[in-house]
Structure 1
Amino acid sequence: MFFLHLIAWLPVIPVSAQGKPDSGCPKLTKSAPSPTKPKNCPDPKTVPAVKGTLRDNECLIGGIMGGDFFNPCYAPNVGAGMGSILSGGKDGGGIGKAKQDWSGGSGPFNARYSTDPSLPLHTIYAPKVVVPGKKLPLLVWANGACATNGATFTNLLTELSSHGILIIATGSPKTPWGTPIPNYTSTLLSPTSSDKSRAIQLTEAIDWAFRGAAEGKYGSVDLDRVGAAGQSCGGVEAYSASVFEPRVRVVGIYNTGVVDPGRRWYLKEMKQGIGYFHGGEGDFSYDYIEQDFREIPATLPAIKLQLQAGHMGTYFEPQGGKFGKASVAFWKWQLQGDETSKALFFNKSSSLYADGWQIDTSHWKA
């Protein structure tokens, strides 16, 4: 059985922004990293910097900051995190607790997902009823495993959207809103599509919003408040779509980090504030996030949250569980300027700390 993150390493036909095979991209030849780390791997500190181009965002899984995902010397130890994927950790989580949630979220604007013919390879999460007189900030999202089903993280993204955020996820939904997915947990564990998204699809979503395509149908969009985020493989896509993108104000990195040591230098190029979320020591992305947090510029605003919930967190619990609650607070603070939400991160008596979150605010002045 292939799990979500492991699926992210499988080869696919490179696609263009329109989803068609693109012969201009280098052919991917390797299938998956060896389960055993080879002997005589180079010291990551000696690996030379790779000078990629933004073309990588169209051709590489993970994009310009993804790099050599297939190199078993760098790949995460997926096998070590299998147990946490199913059962989570002491603070909850795990796909074993997954439950489909069609409540529309806990926020004041009941939300749902839909598709738009002018953006067919994406899924749009928005309030069901256009919110009059209110500009909605924009969040573009890339799925775990770089999956192309934009409904994969429905519980989390619907919850966020219900608090007044327009969200565009990579990939069209495989089922209409409200349609139960048979064998839901098994579906999450074993995605059927071998196709993978590309970081350029996040840029494509931003371009679509900047053309005014969302106006009226989904409400008014605040183009001065744009975020990019993703989970696991999708988190690296969020990095890649943001590093040279001035329209993105803040980045959310969930359960991932820069794997290829030849591309770690791009962390020094990041200009946006970053929120890091991971599932603790049982999350096989743990070392990468911890390293990223240490290596980003000292002056870059960043905050790091960890909950002992494993690599898949609580995203698939109703309203995204504890990860949903923390994400609502983060994005309301960052994209809506909500001071009450901001205080949750700096007040150690807040509900986030009570939920078990360990929060490092050392990079972010209160």
Structure 2
Amino acid sequence: MHLSSSLFAFLTWGVSPLTANPLPQSSPPQTGGTGPFAPAEYTTISPLRSHTLYLPKSVPASSRLPIILWGNGGCSADGLGFRPFLTQIASHGFFILASGTPNGKGQTTAALMTQGVDWVNSAEAKAKYPFLETSRIAVAGMSCGGVEAYTAGHNDSRVSTIGIFNSGLLSVAESEKIAKNLRKPVFYFLGGESDIAYANKQGERDYKYLPAGTPSWKGNLPVGHGGTYSEKNGGKFGVAAVAYFDWVLRGNAKASEYFKNDAEAKNAGWKVESKNLDGIKVTPL
């Protein structure tokens, strides 16, 4: 398939060669996150040899942790590529399986997300991690990883919501086929007019194709395609992502105000649109 130069750049953003880390090469201060389940950490587990797991270091016996499957920018197989961002989210009470191994090489596919969803629903996973809340699963990803999230999540009834970060479907035909038929909540976190996903109209187009009754939110922060993932605790994208997952997966009513009464998001610099957010009904964990 022929790809335009702008589309190829979108799929492989910041990746040279393709197996490189897709984030800016910096070393932000690493923390265990600031959430109520902090500190969080990353590790690996033998049943999922192609994933990196982020979770709180200690989980109280009465707690339930929703699950997030994450796809990296450039479809990079480095599970640490979004470490500050994912650690911060995990510290708010989430079990995150990022595609790729720590410092891994090569590229991932949407099949790794589906493999993760299959595994967390297995008897083995439930015995090892009895706190897993398998009725609340998100697939999400940045850039190429966002396309993986669409692929893995749009037809999987086990997936509760889809998070699209600096991304979108690659053609009008795909938007008509997938976005036009989505009923589960979809949230878009884009980088403004300098984001190649904005210029190619992927996320913007998808949002317009969503049915009016589908709960959805779209925010543009003018920081470009790279977002703020490599900043301490994921920066402003980290704040918005925590609010999204905390509301849609954990049922935190206070977190919902970031989107429903969007003064905080706008004050942070997000330009926002939304549809049918009152359609999100989640019992608090």
Partner of 1:266: 178
Partner of 2:202: 288
Partner of 2:270: 357
Separation in 2, partners of 1:348, 1:209: 33
Residue identity over aligned pairs, in percent, reads: 35
Task: State the SS of the aligned residue for 1:225.
Answer: strand
Task: State the SS of the aligned residue for 2:196.
Answer: coil
The counterpart of 1:275, out of the listed 149, 171, 187, is: 187
Residues 74, 260 of structure 1: 8 Å contact kept? no
| 1:99 is aligned to 2:27 | yes
Separation in 2, partners of 1:98, 1:297: 40
| 1:75 is aligned to 2:7 | yes
Q: 1:155 to 1:212 in 2, by over 3 A?
A: farther
Residues 230, 252 of structure 1: 8 Å contact kept? yes
Residues 41, 56 of structure 2: 8 Å contact kept? yes
Residues 214, 275 of structure 2: 8 Å contact kept? no
Residues 98-147 of structure 1 show CA distances to partners (whole Å, capped at 9, x for unaligned) of: 43342110112210010001111100101112332111000111111001
Separation in 2, partners of 1:329, 1:129: 21
Alpha-carbon distance, 1:263 to partner: 2.3
Alpha-carbon distance, 1:239 to partner: 0.2
Alpha-carbon distance, 1:95 to partner: 5.9
Q: 1:295 to 1:274 in 2, by over 3 A?
A: same
Residues 24, 230 of structure 2: 8 Å contact kept? no
Task: State the SS of the aligned residue for 1:155.
Answer: helix
Query: TM-score, with normalisation over the residues of structure 1?
Result: 0.68
Partner of 1:108: 36
| 1:326 is aligned to 2:240 | yes
Structure 2 gap segments, 5+ residues each:
15-21, 280-285
Partner of 2:114: 203
Partner of 1:173: 102
Q: How does 1:284-323 map to 2 (within 5 A)?
A: 284-286=196-198, 287-323=201-237
| RMSD across aligned positions (CA) | 2.2
Q: 1:213 to 1:124 in 2, by over 3 A?
A: farther
Q: 1:214 to 1:158 in 2, by over 3 A?
A: farther
Partner of 1:343: 257
Partner of 2:134: 223
Separation in 2, partners of 1:357, 1:307: 5
One-letter amino acid of the structure 2 residue matched with residue 283 of structure 1: D
Structure with more contact order per residue of length (Cα contacts < 8 Å, sep ≥ 6): 1
Q: 1:215 to 1:342 in 2, by over 3 A?
A: same
Separation in 1, partners of 2:130, 2:55: 9
Residues 171, 202 of structure 2: 8 Å contact kept? no
Alpha-carbon distance, 1:218 to partner: 4.4
Query: TM-score, with normalisation over the residues of structure 2?
Result: 0.87
Partner of 1:180: none
Residues 76, 285 of structure 1: 8 Å contact kept? no
Separation in 1, partners of 2:47, 2:76: 21
Q: 1:133 to 1:314 in 2, by over 3 A?
A: same
One-letter amino acid of the structure 2 residue matched with residue 108 of structure 1: P
Structure 1 gap segments, 5+ residues each:
1-67, 83-93, 176-192
Partner of 1:253: 164
One-letter amino acid of the structure 2 residue matched with residue 354 of structure 1: N
Residues 23, 82 of structure 2: 8 Å contact kept? no
Residues 22-57 of structure 1 show CA distances to partners (whole Å, capped at 9, x for unaligned) of: xxxxxxxxxxxxxxxxxxxxxxxxxxxxxxxxxxxx
Separation in 1, partners of 2:140, 2:23: 20
| 1:239 is aligned to 2:126 | no
One-letter amino acid of the structure 1 residue matched with residue 44 of structure 2: T
One-letter amino acid of the structure 1 residue matched with residue 166 of structure 2: N
Task: State the SS of the aligned residue for 1:311.
Answer: coil
157-166 or 352-361: bigger deviation: 352-361
